[in-house]
């Protein structure tokens, strides 16, 4: 690693004491996903995923890129684990690529694929870093899309459960946690309603049918993993973007915010924790509401060991159900997302109050920034401010009663940001895609210092 030694200014006493108030075993981490970093898209028997196919379709990815190489993590994982160690991470969140370990999504397993994850997990454990895995971070085997219609078919549910059981059987004793799904809202809505993500459909009814199948996949995978006696803590990762009315005094704006909250937060939280879909959203969807069979909701509502929440920003809506540009007092990220950390405090307390959830983990939080290398450094003061603001907001929620056990910065490395391609940089480490050289940004130094200070204060 090309470590630069410029350390940003020390943090305030308030920040330090807030962070010190977190539980002693609080997990400091960073997150990635298979499709975004691994590369080796066709190597060692890996099957095609819906994202491989999507990238090959002209116009889908803003910079026309693909994931054949990405960050070459498939080969460079030992170096990347060293970066994690240098940061002082307790935990690392990654995802398994389903088509790497089961190329067709059913039938034969690919031992070379399992071997890669075996080596990665060993490398992490040797570095004292707890592996936190996700089973589905959006890269469905393309063969399933071709043969059964992918997530549109209920047939995907038992197939996913088989895959989950196999991962838990092979790795359940070495993984700290296994999350079934990452952000099912994105798979369903961005994949089937807005066409921004693979497989790129534009049909709201499909999106909600897919959301139902994803939730069933979650439930069936939980059962399959419990059945093999997995020692890992099991849960799900949901993306929560709290909804605000543009004008809090306007009845129409408040209703729009309530519907947005219903489709984003309650549509997933209610079935998982209460075994029912929110009635106001079922009514709002009308004919687009999913077809639900007897027993489906009981399958979805499984006991969880943890709930992962991915938090980036908030949404502001007007009475015509449109997203409007928020005030942005703290500015916007390079994705155009408003920086609004106080929503994290409010939201964690709300979830705690309304759902009595299992222990919470912030499984993703971070920002894209227009980073560049200047004199051998990446000066990303905006990311440091974002990190500090969100850690403060998290610690405040904990002080007020939310049970949050860990924080994973998204992402360890600059990587393939889905339909934005490689143009959006979220990493603590800058990646030069021509040479694959990693360079610690100023924020990586800051995060490292914050983790070290937390540990020194114990
Ligand atoms: C989340 C995804 C993650 C990454 C970040 C920026 O929605 O889970 O893969 O793309 O957004």
Between the CA of 81 and the centroid of ligand 1 the distance, in Å, is 20
Residue 290 to residue 213: CA distance in whole angstroms: 9
Burial readout 178-217 (b: 16 or more C-beta within 10 A, e: otherwise): bbbbbbbbbbbbbbbbebebbbbbeebbbbbbbbbbbbbb
Q: What is the pLDDT of residue 5?
A: 37
Supply the pLDDT for residue 15.
87
DSSP 9: P
Is the C-beta atom of 263 inside 6 A of ligand 1? no
Atom of ligand 1 nearest to the CA of 426: 6
Residue with tokens 């560049």: 372
Q: Is the CB of 364 under 6 A from ligand 1?
A: yes
Q: Which of 313, 418, 427 to mutate to test the pocket of ligand 1 (most atoms within 8 A of CB)?
A: 418
What pLDDT was estimated at residue 2? 31
Q: What are phi and psi of 290, to 5 degrees?
A: -70, 155
Please state, in angstroms and rounded to a whole number, the distance separating the CA atoms of residues 427 and 441.
8
Pick the closest to residue 433 from 5, 70, 14, 65 (CA basis): 70
Could you list the beta-strand ranges (E) of 98-153: 130-136
Whether residue 185 has its Cβ less than 6 Å from ligand 1: no
Tokens read off for 310: 């991915």
DSSP state string for 292-345: --TTHHHHH----SEEEEE----EEE-TTS-B-----TT-B-TTS-B--THHHH
311 within ligand 1 shell (Cβ under 6 A): no
Nearest to 337 by CA among 390, 287, 286, 259: 390
33 lines ligand 1 (CB under 6 A): yes
Instruction: Return the closest-CA partner of residue 119 out of 177, 80, 83, 88.
Output: 80
Which atom of ligand 1 sits closest to the CA of residue 237?
A: 8
The answer to whether the CB of 36 falls within 8 A of the CB of 70 is yes
Residue 11 has what pLDDT? 74
Q: What is the pLDDT of residue 1?
A: 32
For the CA of 186, the closest atom of ligand 1 is: 7
Residues marked active site are found at: 183, 364
Tens digit of pLDDT at every position of the chain (458 positions): 333 334 444 578 888 899 999 999 999 999 999 999 999 999 999 999 999 999 999 999 999 999 999 999 999 999 999 999 999 999 999 999 999 999 999 999 999 999 999 999 999 999 999 999 999 999 999 999 999 999 999 999 999 999 999 999 999 999 999 999 999 999 999 999 999 999 999 999 999 999 999 999 999 999 999 999 999 999 999 999 999 999 999 999 999 999 999 999 999 999 999 999 999 999 999 999 999 999 999 999 999 999 999 999 999 999 999 999 999 999 999 999 999 999 999 999 999 999 999 999 999 999 999 999 999 999 999 999 999 999 999 999 999 999 999 999 999 999 999 999 999 999 999 999 999 999 999 999 999 999 999 999 98
How many residues can be counted in the chain?
458
Query: Distance of alpha carbon 194 from its chain centroid, rounded?
Result: 19
CA 141 to ligand 1 centroid distance, Å:
19
Taking phi over 0 as left and psi of -120 to 50 as alpha, with beta for the rest, 435 belongs to alpha
User: Is 310 near ligand 1, meaning CB less than 6 Å away?
Assistant: yes
């Amino acid at each position: 690693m090309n470590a630069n030694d410029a350390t940003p200014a020390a943090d305030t006493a308030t920040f330090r004491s807030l962070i010190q108030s977190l539980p002693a075993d609080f997990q400091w981490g960073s997150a990635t996903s298979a499709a975004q970093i691994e590369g080796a898209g066709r190597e060692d028997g890996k099957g095609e995923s819906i994202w491989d196919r999507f990238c090959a379709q002209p116009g889908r990815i803003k910079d026309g890129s693909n994931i054949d190489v990405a960050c070459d993590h498939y080969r460079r994982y030992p170096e990347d684990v060293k970066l994690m160690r240098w940061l002082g991470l307790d935990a690392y969140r990654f995802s398994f690529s389903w088509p790497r370990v089961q190329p067709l999504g059913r039938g034969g397993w690919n031992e070379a694929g399992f071997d890669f994850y075996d080596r990665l997990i060993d490398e992490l454990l040797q570095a004292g870093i707890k592996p936190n895995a996700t089973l589905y971070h959006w890269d469905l085997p393309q063969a399933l899309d071709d043969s059964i219609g992918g997530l549109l078919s209920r047939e995907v549910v038992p197939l996913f459960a088989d895959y989950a059981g196999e991962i838990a059987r092979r790795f359940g004793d070495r993984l700290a946690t296994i999350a079934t799904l990452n952000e099912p809202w994105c798979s369903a809505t961005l994949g089937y309603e807005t066409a921004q993500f693979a497989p790129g459909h534009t049909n709201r009814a499909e999106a909600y049918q897919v959301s139902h199948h994803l939730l069933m996949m979650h439930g069936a995978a939980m059962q399959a993993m419990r059945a093999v006696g997995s020692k890992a803590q099991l849960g799900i990762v949901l993306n929560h973007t709290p909804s605000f009315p543009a004008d809090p005094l306007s009845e129409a704006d408040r209703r729009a915010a309530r519907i947005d909250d219903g489709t984003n937060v309650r549509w997933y939280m209610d079935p998982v924790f209460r075994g029912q879909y929110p009635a106001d959203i079922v009514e709002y969807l009308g004919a687009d509401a999913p077809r639900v069979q007897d027993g489906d909701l009981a399958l979805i509502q499984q006991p969880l060991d943890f709930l992962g929440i991915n938090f980036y920003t908030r949404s502001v809506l007007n009475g015509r159900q449109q997203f409007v540009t928020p005030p942005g007092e703290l500015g916007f990220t390079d994705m155009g997302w408003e920086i609004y950390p106080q929503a994290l405090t409010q939201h964690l307390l709300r979830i705690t109050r309304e759902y009595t959830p299992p222990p919470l983990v912030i499984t993703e939080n971070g920002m894209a920034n227009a980073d560049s290398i200047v004199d051998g450094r990446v000066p990303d003061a905006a990311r440091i401010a974002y990190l500090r603001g969100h850690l403060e907001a998290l610690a405040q929620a904990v002080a007020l009663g939310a049970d949050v056990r860990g924080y994973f910065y998204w992402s360890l490395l600059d990587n393939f940001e889905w339909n934005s391609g490689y143009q959006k940089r979220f990493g603590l480490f800058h990646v030069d895609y021509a040479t694959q050289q990693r360079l610690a940004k100023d924020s990586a130094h800051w995060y490292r210092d914050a983790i070290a200070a937390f540990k020194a204060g114990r």
